[in-house]
Amino acid sequence: MQQPVETLSRHRAEIWLARPPEIGDPQLLEHYRSLLCPAERARERAFLQAADRRAYLITHALLRTVLSRYCPRRPADWVFHTNPHGRPELAPGQTSLPIDFNLAHTRGLVACALTLGHAIGIDCECTDRPAPLEVAEHFFSPTEAADLARAPARARDRRFFAYWTLKEAYSKARGLGLCLPLHAYSFDLDDPQGPRIAIDPALHDHPAHWQFHLAAEDPDHLLAIAVKRGQGADLEIRTHRIATRRP
């Protein structure tokens, strides 16, 4: 049984990042593949593009190896299921720790977030492309759509992706994905304390229970995190970047 090398804290969110284009060693990729279950390997093979296969492989191998850094279980032994809205979760009975995790990937970046006893969602987006601004016009809240409409043209795309990653992170933390109406919650990007959310009462949630983090991982990638910390203090956000050698 693999022994944990780190300890999860209820006061921290652990964020693990990897860059698939930098991970090309065939032996390393085959090692990652050996950690996946048969269903995951079949899902990997189903992708038509090599870049998509590699991103899927690295994302799911990253999750398994990260979990085993904190829990006495081999990476290949973790078992997952999905909730009714498609969110991956740990199958029952594998650990006594109340671990919550979430995954995200975009072109050039994959991310895994873990907490102990707090719901978490993560999203990342590659921003070196035009933003689909029509999505904001039709689906964002009126205040978000108005903010984007008056933003300088040179900043509009980046601002759209900031809203989008935060919305994805929040909906994933709620476990509902895009079943949560995008117009029913609204972000303020200009609060000096960081992103703040307003939530329609129909969603039965309290804005003060949430912590959000928005960061530029590099000039072409935005990363957003949503943590339901309840009435406690904000969690420390600790970011790790994996090495490209075999663990």
The CATH number of residue 43's host domain is: 3.90.470.20
Of 63, 98, 117, the residue that ends a domain is 117
Residue 139 covered by a domain: yes
What pLDDT band is residue 246 in, cutting at 50, 70 and 90? very low
Residue 7 covered by a domain: no
Is 83 in the same domain as 159?
A: no
Residue 184 covered by a domain: yes
Range of the structural domain that residue 163 is part of: 124-231
Contact of 138 with 183, CB cutoff 8 Å:
no
Is 227 in the same domain as 189?
A: yes
Mean pLDDT value across residues 130-150:
93
Residue 163 covered by a domain: yes
pLDDT of res. 86:
84
Is 100 in the same domain as 170?
A: no
Assign 247 to helix, strand or coil: coil
- For 113-127, the DSSP string reads EEEESSEEEEEEEE-
Contact of 29 with 54, CB cutoff 8 Å:
yes
Number of folded domains that form the chain: 2
Contact of 192 with 91, CB cutoff 8 Å:
no
Is 176 in the same domain as 148?
A: yes
Residue 38 covered by a domain: yes
What pLDDT band is residue 247 in, cutting at 50, 70 and 90? very low
Q: What is the pTM of this model?
A: 0.94
Is 69 in the same domain as 167?
A: no
Residue 239 covered by a domain: no
- Whether 143 has a pLDDT exceeding 60, the answer reads yes
